[in-house]
């Protein structure tokens, strides 16, 4: 069940990002040394490792959409993860600079 939810979340992220890239007429390929800010709107706060694990499908979706070339330390990207308690609107907001 969890595996299917993560896979679906990853696929939805890739589709949304590809759509945004098409609307912006993005033709460049992966961004070099991007700053990715992930803001998670959660029911209860996660600890640092839990937040990284919870947002992993979103980062993988960005890789699948070819916006970034990887999520490892050698890729040069910087990931900032934030969280806010919002019990009406839960999800993840992604800003790539």
Task: Dump pLDDT digits (tens) for 21-51.
Answer: 999 998 778 888 899 999 999 999 999 999 9
pTM of the predicted model, to two decimals?
A: 0.89
Q: Is 44 exposed, middle or buried (0-12, 13-18, 19+ CB in 10 A)?
A: exposed
| Ordered alpha helix ranges (H), 24-70 | 48-64
Phi/psi-derived region of residue 66, left when phi > 0, alpha when psi is between -120 and 50, beta in every other case? left
- Report, as an integer, the average pLDDT of 15-25: 93
Report whether 42 contacts 62 (CB < 8 A).
Answer: no
């Amino acid at each position: 069940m969890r595996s299917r939810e993560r896979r679906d979340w990853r696929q939805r992220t890739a589709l949304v990002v590809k759509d945004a890239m098409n609307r912006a007429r993005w033709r460049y390929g992966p961004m070099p040394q991007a700053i990715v800010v992930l803001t998670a709107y959660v029911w209860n706060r996660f600890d640092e490792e839990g937040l990284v694990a919870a947002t992993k499908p979103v980062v993988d979706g960005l890789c699948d959409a070819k916006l970034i070339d990887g999520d490892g330390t050698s890729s040069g990207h910087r990931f900032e993860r934030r969280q806010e308690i919002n019990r009406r609107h839960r999800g993840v907001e992604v800003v790539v600079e």
